[in-house]
Structure 1
Amino acid sequence: MKPVVSVVIPAHNEEAVVPAGLDLLLAGAAPGEFDVVVVANGCSDGTARAAARPGVRVLETPAAGKAGALRLGDAACRAFPRVYLDADVRLDAESVRLLVEAAGRPGVLACAPVPVWDLRGTGPVVRRVHRVHDRLIAPSRALAGVGVYVLNERGHERAFPVPDVISDDGWVDGCFTGSERVVVTEARSVVRPPRTVRAHLRRRIRVRQGNRQLAALGRQGSPLRLGALGRLLAAREVGPLDAACYLAVLAMDRLLTRLRRGRAGWGTDAGSRHRDPTAAS
């Protein structure tokens, strides 16, 4: 069977999470329907071994880096459209088919699913911070921040090769405007955010660094305004305690940003790479 879609999964030390994601992706797929390429990049664990199974091609490179892994996997793809999927994000076969259908609509070049946030194991403060943040960014969410984006052949010509940036989804999102990129409301990705305040702050460091990289490349995003938080409170979409937790962590985030300014390094975003409690041990 000729594949109808290619799926690229960059994976850096993802031994704990990649098996369950692949099992879910392939469980509802016909043999040969999906061309799945896992790129184990700079791994010091058993990611490549954990990803090996029928229907999956595993590529290995000693160079760690998501953008490079995306380019390597992309070069090995056999079909359009192409799904670019984070290794710790869950996506089922039916959602892939819905995304493929959307990518074939006239005028559409890129699409993404709606994220479902898996908050199991997260602390109460992080839950409240996430509740506020999710509602703040929901009106402008498109391809970035959901762990999955899909490009058809015309969209691929515009967005690839992805440059060496932290925020590959932010780069791709900025390649399209208006109706060229769509959110497929029937498709779902399951995303596991950081569990602790510390992990959340580490991730925020990477987000800020990624945003600075994009700004240097002329891709300026829209900053969040505190007035939007007031509107959420007035509409009772979030509560006062939610807002207080969000503002407290935001203050910590900004303080750490000032203290770290000028230091090298991206920080480590391992907060969502814990083993799936529903997976077999």
Structure 2
Amino acid sequence: MVSIVIPAHNEAAVIGRNLKRLLEGAEPGEFDVIVVANACGDGTAEAAAAVPGVRVIDTPVPGKVPALRLGDEACRSFPRLYLDADVELTAESVRALVRACARPGVLACAPVPELDLDRVGPIARRVHRVHHRLLTPTRALAGVGVYVLTEAGHARVFPMPDVIADDGWVHTSFAPDERLVVSEARSLVRPARTVRSHLNRRVRVRRGNRQLAALRRPHSTGGEGGPGLGSLAGLLRRREVSPLDAAAYLGVLVLDRTLSRVRRDKGGWGSDLSTR
């Protein structure tokens, strides 16, 4: 058995479909699935409870990390898998992740993310295409929507504090040789649909990175740095992205950094452009 914790806030539109996708082909008792519906104003808890084999915890307490802690306390076994409610994962990928946890020295692992760009705007699609390829070599446990912990790895991570980026906390808890990206496993991630939404998410990522740096995480790279222009040039040379992709990415990057400076000067890091 593998325990699977899914924190969910107002995910009634997708939670039922994603749970059925996860459990399709699973053996009886193979997955212990716990959905923690936190401060939901829609039918998330009801939609999750309608799927056979799913336990639901309905809590009025908002926040992803409190939901993760609550779900973790209800788990029955190791390894434990933590899955974002809007990310799709198959039973076959779960099994591949569980097998990877049995490898000597592995304390945590994650799948390879794939982007669902079907309903994403044209400029945002180009930005995501470049951003995804730039981060792939170093992403590991962060930004995938899924991570798995062995019992020893769990002791390194929990009880999880009230951090902005739970996946960043997990990623920086392990040395590179203790965490593994499992090529046989895939997660389907739905990125921001618009440039505005992407910029809002960048604000949160930046805040999370700054918090982790301040907490002096043992395996943090620190700061807000990422792949540089040399990495982008390499993608262009290898024709992994088009010149139009690169131009869209650079344009949004300039806008992102300009807004960051304005917000830093005004002390407005806690505010977003919009909620969506």
Q: Which range, TM-score by smaller chain? A: over 0.9
Distance in 1, Cα, partners of 2:179 & 2:274: 27
1:45 maps to amino acid: D
Q: Write the letter of the residue equivalent to 1:200.
A: H
What is the CA–CA distance in structure 1 between the aligned matches of 2:68 and 2:273, rounded to whole Å?
Answer: 19
Preserved CA contact (<8 Å) 1:67 1:163: yes
In 1, are the aligned partners of 2:196 and 2:273 still within 8 Å (CA)?
Answer: no
Deviation of 1:268 (Å): 8.4
The amino acid that maps onto 1:244 is: A
Q: Distance in 1 between matches of 2:44 and 2:251?
A: 37
Alignment match of 1:246 (pick from 224, 246, 249)? 249
Q: TM-score, length-normalised on structure 2?
A: 0.93
| 1:230 pairs with 2:233 | yes
In the alignment, is residue 186 of structure 1 matched against residue 189 of structure 2? no
Counterpart-to-counterpart distance in 1, 2:212 and 2:271 = 14
Aligned position for 1:149: 147
Map residues 111-260 of structure 1 onto 2, 5 A cutoff.
111-219=109-217, 220-221=220-221, 223-260=226-263
**C-alpha distance in structure 2 between counterparts of 1:180 and 1:266, whole Å:** 36
Corresponding position of 2:57: 59
State the partner residue of 1:16. Answer: 13
SS at structure 2 position matched to 1:139: coil
Number of equivalences: 268
The DSSP-based 3-state class of the residue aligned with 1:202 is helix
Residue in 2 aligned with 1:263?
268
Contact 1:203 1:269 survives alignment (8 Å): no
For 1:92 and 1:269, the matched residues in 2 are separated by 32
- 1:39 alignment partner, one of 27, 36, 41: 36
Contact 2:34/2:54, CA 8 A, preserved across alignment: yes
Letter in 1 for 2:20: D
Equivalent positions of 1:84-99 (< 5 A) are 84-99=82-97
What is the letter of the counterpart of residue 198 of structure 1? R
Q: 1:27 is matched with which residue?
A: 24
* Secondary structure at 2:136 match in 1: helix
Q: Which amino acid aligns with 2:270?
A: G
Cα distance change on mapping 1:124 and 1:81 into 2, 3 Å: same
Using the aligned pairs only, state the percent identity: 66
SS at structure 2 position matched to 1:236 = coil
AA aligned to 1:265 is G
Q: CA RMSD in A?
A: 1.6
User: Relative to 1, partners in 2 of residues 1:245 and 1:38: Cα closer, same or farther, differing over 3 Å?
Assistant: same
Cα shift at 1:270? 6.7
Aligned-residue offset at 1:133: 0.7
> Could you say what secondary structure the match of 2:81 adopts?
strand
Letter matched to residue 98 of structure 2 = V
Q: Does structure 2 conserve the Cα–Cα contact (< 8 Å) formed by 1:114 and 1:185? A: yes
1:101 equivalent in alignment to 2:106: no
Q: Does the C-alpha gap of structure 1 residues 268 and 249 become closer, same or farther in structure 2, counting only changes over 3 Å?
A: closer
The answer on 1:81 being equivalent to 2:79 is: yes
Residue identity in the other structure for 1:28: G
Q: 1:69 aligns with which of 67, 70, 73?
A: 67
- 8 Å contact from structure 2 (residues 203, 269) kept in 1: no
| CA apart distance, 1:269 | 8.9
Structure 1 gaps of 5+ residues are: 272-281
Where 1:97 maps in the other structure, the secondary structure is helix
- Give the secondary-structure state (helix, strand or coil) at the position aligned to 1:20: helix
